[in-house]
Structure 1
Amino acid sequence: MRLDEARDKPIITCLEFIREYLTNRIVNVHKVLDKCKGSLSTTATTILENNTTEANKMRVLFSGADKYQVTGLWMEQYFVNLKEKSCTCRKWYITGIPCQHVIAAMYDRMQNGSECGDPEAWVSKCYWLSTWNVMYQHIINPINGRSMWPRSDCPTTLLPPKYHKQVGRPKKKKKREDDEPAQSTSLSRKYLTVTCSKCHNKGHIVRTCKGQGGPSEAGKGSR
């Protein structure tokens, strides 16, 4: 079930679709939370474990003032600043999960006797199960069907607007902006050079063929 499936439905049907969609989403998140072990989500735990494995393969050079130079197996170097919680690969800044370079610097700091804490404590709060529990602690109560809805006491009768059937097939895709690129699965013929099927010369087609482009190449390769 996707939320955009309710785009072309009437307003009440669209709202009912959204309500059922949110109900299913909250229930599915609770099922995932019941299966999770530890303090982080499953995705964050997997990424952090992979980064920890890669961190054991790296060489760390301490420069002082919580600044480290981390070198990988392919001799790539990154600058890590634990005080500012930054790394030049920018993975930590983008994902909110400490990258392998940061974890390597943290382990080097702990080996030198300085307290650094568990790498899980450096993960963004959006990956913590406690945050998920707070965000999805509410539920959406079920409601009765339309036949059991109370009638309104409004004296005014609301009539639907006049419907005018448009010409052609109803559109399913959204209207794109003028500067929004179109997502097409077919290849564009722009900048392609056409070939005439009559004289086999390039630059024109058989309907406009007048022998231009040099002598015919149809007889080449027949001998």
Structure 2
Amino acid sequence: MDELRKTKQHAYDWLKKKNPTHWSRSHFSIRSHSDMLVNNLSESFNKMILEARGKPILTMMEIVRTKIMLLIVKKKEEADKWKGILCPKIKKKLDVNIKDSLRCVPSHAGGDKYQVECGLGSQHVMDLVQNSCSCKNWHLTGIPCIHALAVIHVKNEFPETYVQTCPVRGLKQWAPLSNMLPILPPLLRKPPGRPTKVRRKEPDEPQTIERLSKRGVEMRLKDIKLVFEPSNRLPQVSKRVPQLNKVPQVSYLLPQLIKKLL
């Protein structure tokens, strides 16, 4: 934060106003066992259900259910081909940590605790029984950090057995929250106009340039010879229309315009 303050003061002030649990891994909750700081998962899911967003509610839910069913079957078939007890990506992360743990030197501190040194000034306390390390990476991701892997290597144990299994209890076993009101469905309110189907973009997201805006374009009706200008004024008679004796009144042409449109 001090380095950011020296380079970009406005970015430092903006981050100070935000809750650090939303942008700093040091303040993340350890319940989810994830250190991801991006929203790629939600963006990928939104792209998958792009076809169903404009459908009626029942049709939309059925399309989403079918897509999720096919995705689960595809992942199940891929999981049947795995070798070992870990997922490929978790195995890859564990192998990287094992390689980096070779530069760490563990020292037994009594009981189940170890003191692990990884270079000058880098020293952490590790407990294999509690599955904890002072670097907090093991708690945050559920994957043994380099300090824990150095101790596991000294004890000649398998690193795969120390990876968090992350079990989840059933819905009926979830603890009720007495300090919260029940979550009710939102009130049905139909806004005026056509329903929007385009995804809402963020303020800093670039705008698409494939379609030009119609703002400022004159709208013409050839049958009535009127020109609608991009303003709040009443339609005016086109100057290119040959005039006879006098200019027709706009109030006289409005009923004809409404009749033509209906």
Residue identity (%): 30
5+ unaligned residues in a row in structure 1: which ranges?
111-116, 132-163, 176-181, 187-223
TM-score (norm: length of structure 1): 0.53
Unpaired runs of at least 5, structure 2: 1-43, 169-189, 207-262
Measure, in 2, the Cα distance between the counterparts of 1:173 and 1:12.
Answer: 20
Give the aligned partner of residue 184 of structure 1.
Answer: 204
* SS of aligned partner of 2:107: strand
**Cα deviations by residue, 1:153-192 (Å, 9 ceiling, x for unpaired):** xxxxxxxxxxx883377253469xxxxxx65237xxxxxx
Q: Tell me the equivalent position of 1:90.
A: 136
Q: What's 1:101 paired with?
A: 147
The answer (yes or no) to whether the contact 1:58–1:71 under 8 Å persists in 2 is: yes
* Partner Cα separation in structure 2 for residue 97 and residue 10 of structure 1: 43
**What RMSD over aligned residues (CA atoms) do the two structures have, in Å?**
3.0
> Which secondary structure does the structure 2 equivalent of 1:93 belong to?
helix
Deviation at 1:52, TM superposition (A): 1.0
Find the counterpart in structure 2 of residue 213 from structure 1. none
1:54-81 C-alpha deviation (Å, 9 max, x unpaired): 1111111211111111111454111101
- Report which stretch shifted further, 15-24 or 91-100: 15-24
Question: Are 2:98 and 1:58 equivalent residues in the alignment?
Answer: no
CA distance in 1, matches of 2:191, 2:147: 61
**Residue 208 (structure 2) pairs with residue 170 (structure 1):** no
Cα distance, 1:18 vs. partner?
1.4
Higher relative contact order structure (alpha carbons within 8 Å, sequence separation ≥ 6): 1
SS in 2 for 1:39: coil
Write the distance in 1 (CA, Å) between the matches of 2:195 and 2:58.
23
Would the aligned equivalents of 2:54 and 2:197 in 1 still touch at CA under 8 Å?
Answer: no
Residue 147 of structure 1 is matched in structure 2 by none
1:2: which partner in 2? 45
**3-state DSSP of counterpart to 1:2:** helix
Measured in 1, the distance between the counterparts of 2:83 and 2:118 equals 31
Paired residues of 2:53 and 2:197 also in contact (CA < 8 A): no
Read off the aligned partner of 1:185 and give its amino acid letter. E
SS in 2 for 1:78: strand
Give the alignment partner of residue 71 of structure 2, picking from 21, 25, 30: 25
* Residues 26, 171 of structure 1: alpha-carbon distance in 2 compared, 3 angstrom cutoff: closer
1: CA distance, partners of 2:162 / 2:194: 57
Q: 3-state SS of the aligned residue for 1:70?
A: strand
What whole-Å deviation, never above 9, does each CA across 1:107-145 have from its counterpart, x for those lacking one? 2234xxxxxx31111112249xxx9xxxxxxxxxxxxxx
- Determine which of 64, 83, 93 is the counterpart of 1:37: 83
